[in-house]
Amino acid sequence: MKQHECSISFCDKCAFETNSVFKYLTRDEIERLNYEKDFRLYKRGDILYNEGNRISGFYCINSGIIKVFKTGIDGKEQIIRFARRGEIIAYRSVLSNESACTSAKVVEDCQVCFIPSELLIQFVKNNPAFSFEMIKLTCHELAEANSYITDIAQKTVRERLAEVLIQLVKDFGIDDQKYLRISLTREELANIVGTATESVIRLLSEFKTDKLIELNGRRIKVLDVKGLNKISNIII
């Protein structure tokens, strides 16, 4: 878990570029944020915090990708969500003043800002507009979580894998060669879907046979989003 100090663009610039919740802070508040934040670099595999940790602040991601997960039976990870540029993690534990109920690990090398707990609490308590946005953010995550519960409970692994691929396309996009802009190990994919690594491998190669995707090691080329949608049985 290496950390390096270095400089980064001011928070106000970043907040507007990324459309983050910090957009709703006042000029003074964002100055304080800028002053008190701690800029850090992390490499793939680094852990930001672990389930059960009492944490003294939360993180805003400037670049890179973080996975947020819970650890279940015999250490198997269940990935809850990914966080990328402009998104914040660990704010839940700060706000409810509980120890972390998830862990966070770097998927793609990251630049993040660490922000002390007190600051978030003060902003929430003093700035109603910001507070309202935080509520919306949390509500949004809650809606997603509920819908994921329904999916996992009712859909087959095949349907869920197709859905996860579509979701990854929506969240991270594809490059000009149609390659997904996030690359995960088979095990990580399995830990999103909630299945065994071998099942992911088999299903991916089925999708490949059906010309829905192409595989190049860890890189996935998405050929037929409509086809995947059909498989995933998305409820509108």
Partner DNA sequence: CGGTACGTTGAGTCATATCAACCATAGTGG
Partner DNA sequence: CCACTATGGTTGATATGACTCAACGTACCG
Binding site for its own copies (CB under 8 A): 70-73, 76, 78, 80, 92, 95-96, 98, 101-102, 124-126, 128-129, 131-132, 134-136, 138-143, 145-155, 194-195, 233, 235
Burial of 25 (0-12, 13-18, 19+ CB in 10 A): buried
158 contributes a contact to DNA by CB under 7 A: yes
Q: Are 95 and 129 in contact (CB under 8 A)?
A: no
Residue 151 binds which of its own copies, DNA, none (CB < 5-8 A, kind-dependent): its own copies
Write the CB contacts of 55 (distance below 8 Å, at least 6 apart in sequence): 49, 90, 93, 94, 99, 100, 117
For the CB of residue 86, give the shortest distance to DNA in the complex, in Å: 27
81 versus 178: smaller Cβ distance to its own copies: 81
34 binds, among DNA, its own copies, none (CB under 5 to 8 A by kind): none
Q: If contact means CB under 5 to 8 A according to the sort of partner, which of its own copies, DNA, none does residue 50 touch?
A: none
Exposure string for 71-92, b = 16+ CB within 10 A, e = fewer: eeeeeebebbbbbbbbbbbbbb
Name the binder of 103 from its own copies, DNA, none, CB < 5-8 A by kind. Answer: none
Q: Is 204 among the residues that bind DNA (CB under 7 A)?
A: yes
Q: What residues from 184 to 203 belong to the interface with DNA (CB under 7 A)?
A: 185-187, 194-199, 201-202
What distance in Å separates the CA atoms of residue 136 and residue 126, rounded to the nearest whole number? 17
Is the four-CA dihedral 217, 218, 221, 226 of positive or negative sign? positive
What is the closest distance, in whole angstroms, from the C-beta atom of residue 210 to DNA in the complex? 14
